[in-house]
Amino acid sequence: MESQTKQCQNCKKDFVIEPDDFAFYEKIRVPPPTFCPECRLQRRLSFRNERILYKRACDLCGKEVISIYHSEGKNVMYCQHCWWSDKWDPLAYGQGYDFQKPFFEQYQKLSKRVPRVSLINANSVNSEYTHLAADNKDCYMLFESSNNERCNHSYWMQISKDCLDCAFVNNSELCYELFVAYNCYKLFFSKECRDCTDSFFLQDCVGCSNCYGCVGLRQKQYHIFNKPYSKEDYFKILEEKKKQIKEGDVENFKKEFKDFALKQINKYAYIQKSARSTGNYLLNTKNCNNCFHGDDAENCKYGYHVWRNSKDNMDVSTAGRDAELVYETINTGISAYNIKFGIQNWNGNSDLTYCEACSGSSNLFGCISLHGKSYCILNKQCTKEEYQKLLPQIIEHMKKTGEYGEFFSSKLSLFAYNETVANDHFPLSKEEALKQGYLWKNQEEKNVNIGGDIMACAHEGKCQYHCTVGFKIIQAERDFYDKMGLPIPTLCPNCRHYERLTQRNPLKLWHRKCMKPGCNNEFETSYAPDRPEIVYCESCYAREVA
């Protein structure tokens, strides 16, 4: 089949469906999408509240807990203890399928009744204040992360220890203010680095140690702003800089490094040890196209967070730990197979379609919060024979209503648009969000008593970062700052997080030419044409880096 150009039903822009895409859709038996890739991503992300937390009472036991669901929300919420207990039966909410009504209307009715869990942090120890997290120990305010120890105020951390204020960091230890890093140790205020140790303010460096303010170095020691120094001179200069950092002169150093980095050459994308892959922030990938933030993934397309043996997946937002043949889902993984149109389905699921928050289950359609179940439709138990007979009829009905093949309608989201990660990547004003059919939550007035253990955030609640106005430094943070010789931050954790994320390029590619004079190579890059950075193709960049 040849490529086809379609018009997005949402934004009305043209998009292309490639022959390989059609082959994938045929393999998993779904019709081609009617939304463009960007609108599909935005729609999925509008169902995902990653870090906006509230206090809310469990609707079963009454205990007040931390939750991603506001107390004024219309959904039912159970604390983790109750949700995983046998005190309730999710099959009790089952309803028969009505062929006289659209599927999404029936799903919404079920969605309002079936309890959701307050937070998701499975198999974790002393890590109550973590969400979308698993297998962590002694962690606090950690989001979208797994297999970490003593990591605090961080996002998308994997297999790391004793790190603070980091994002997109793997296999690292004793690091601070990192953005995209792999296998690093005692690295501070840096981005896009691999195998670096004992350094400050690095960008796109590999195998470097004892370096400061450097960009694009490979296997170097004792460099400051890309210039070599003797070991003695390096440490003499470094000690003075560390003293100034400890005294709180970090912002000036950040600006100095940013100005220096802007004059350096940038590779068109941060893609390393990868074959036939496009996107950004990719390591150890193969045949991954239009993917962002991927590690150990193969044959994926339009993915955001594809990692740890993510294979043969398309249009996924977080799919990994042995996730295979997954389509149009958000937060799916741990031995997952053949999952279509799903939300937060983890731990041994297979053959799920239009399901949410299910685990250890197979052959489910339109189900919510089921554990260890099979052959259910809208939370109603069926026999295998009934399921296999009814399912094709439902799919045909959904095709007639124009629903099958589409992710959940954004109207079904339990979150306001500005509570979700969709607003991080596709920011909308209140008026724009409401016009497009999303919910919106006005920012609550925060009455914070500054003083004692409560520090004032320098933004004073006047930014768009969900500022908490005041914040408390936990003991683990104080110990880290003292041990590493770092100043106590002046911004609350939310503001620090969102400022850190401003370093990332958009989840979008532009077709550009190499800026090296005389080179005509072309590529797909997340650097927009109007940005000030100097962008080279891979071969030209490889010849330039030290």
Helix (H) or strand (E) holding 78: strand 77-78
User: Is-contact 269 191, C-beta < 8 A?
Assistant: no
Counting Cβ atoms within 10 Å, is residue 59 exposed (0-12), middle (13-18) or buried (19+)? middle
The pLDDT of residue 447 is 78
Place of tokens 């962008």: 535
Residue 394: phi, psi to the nearest 5?
Answer: -65, -45
What angle, 0 to 180 degrees and rounded to 10, lies between the N-to-C axes of helices 103-113 and 384-401?
A: 120
| DSSP symbol at 371 | B
Counting Cβ atoms within 10 Å, is residue 478 exposed (0-12), middle (13-18) or buried (19+)? exposed
* Whole-structure pTM value: 0.94
Q: Name which of 382, 378, 335 is nearest 354 in CA terms.
A: 378
User: Is-contact 380 368, C-beta < 8 A?
Assistant: no
Copy the structure tokens of residue 531: 């940005």
Report the distance separating Cα 292 and Cα 71, nearest Å: 34
Q: Name which of 411, 443, 413, 438 is nearest 427 in CA terms.
A: 438
Question: Which residues lie below 8 Å from residue 418, measured CB to CB, with a gap of 6+?
Answer: 428, 430, 433, 440, 441
Per residue of the chain (546 residues), give pLDDT as tens.
799 999 999 999 999 999 999 999 999 999 999 999 999 999 999 999 999 999 999 999 999 999 999 998 889 999 999 999 999 999 999 999 999 999 999 999 999 999 999 999 888 999 999 999 999 999 999 999 999 999 999 999 999 999 999 999 999 999 999 999 999 999 999 999 999 999 999 999 999 999 999 999 999 999 999 999 999 999 999 999 999 999 988 999 999 999 999 999 999 999 999 999 999 999 999 999 999 999 999 999 999 999 999 999 999 999 999 999 999 999 999 999 999 999 999 999 999 999 999 999 999 999 999 999 999 999 999 999 999 999 999 999 999 999 999 999 999 999 999 999 999 999 999 999 999 999 999 887 777 888 888 999 999 998 888 899 999 999 999 999 999 999 999 999 999 999 999 999 999 999 999 999 999 999 999 999 999 999 999 999 999 986
Residue 309: phi, psi to the nearest 5?
Answer: 65, 50
Q: In whole angstroms, what separates CA 540 from the centre of its chain?
A: 31
The residues facing 5 across adjacent strands are 16
The pLDDT of residue 186 is 98
The pLDDT of residue 541 is 96
The pLDDT of residue 107 is 98
The residues facing 117 across adjacent strands are 78
Sheet with 227-228, edge to edge strand ranges = 121-122, 130-134, 140-146, 152-158, 167-170, 176-182, 185-194, 197-203, 209-215, 221-224, 227-228
Question: Which residues lie below 8 Å from residue 300, measured CB to CB, with a gap of 6+?
Answer: 285, 287, 288, 289, 291, 294, 306, 310, 311, 312, 313, 314, 316, 319
Q: DSSP letters along 106-164, please?
A: HHHHHHHHS-EES--EET-BS--SEEEEES-BS-EEEEEEES-BS-EEEEEEES-BS-B
Report the distance separating Cα 60 and Cα 221, nearest Å: 58
Torsion, Cα of 527, 528, 529, 535 (10° steps): 0
The pLDDT of residue 374 is 98
User: Is-contact 301 294, C-beta < 8 A?
Assistant: no
Copy the structure tokens of residue 422: 């969709």
CA 116-117-120 angle, to 5 degrees, is: 130
| DSSP symbol at 466 | -
CA 496-498-499 angle, to 5 degrees, is: 65
Instruction: Say how many Å lie between the first and final Cα of the chain, rounded.
Output: 45
Integer-rounded Cα Rg, in Å, for the chain is 24
Residue 289: phi, psi to the nearest 5?
Answer: -115, 135
Q: DSSP letters along 490-511, please?
A: SS-HHHHHHHHHTTSPPS--EE
Helix (H) or strand (E) holding 373: none
Question: Which residues lie below 8 Å from residue 307, measured CB to CB, with a gap of 6+?
Answer: 158, 293, 294, 295, 296, 297, 319, 320, 321
Place of tokens 């016009």: 435
| DSSP symbol at 275 | B
Residue 188: phi, psi to the nearest 5?
Answer: -130, 145
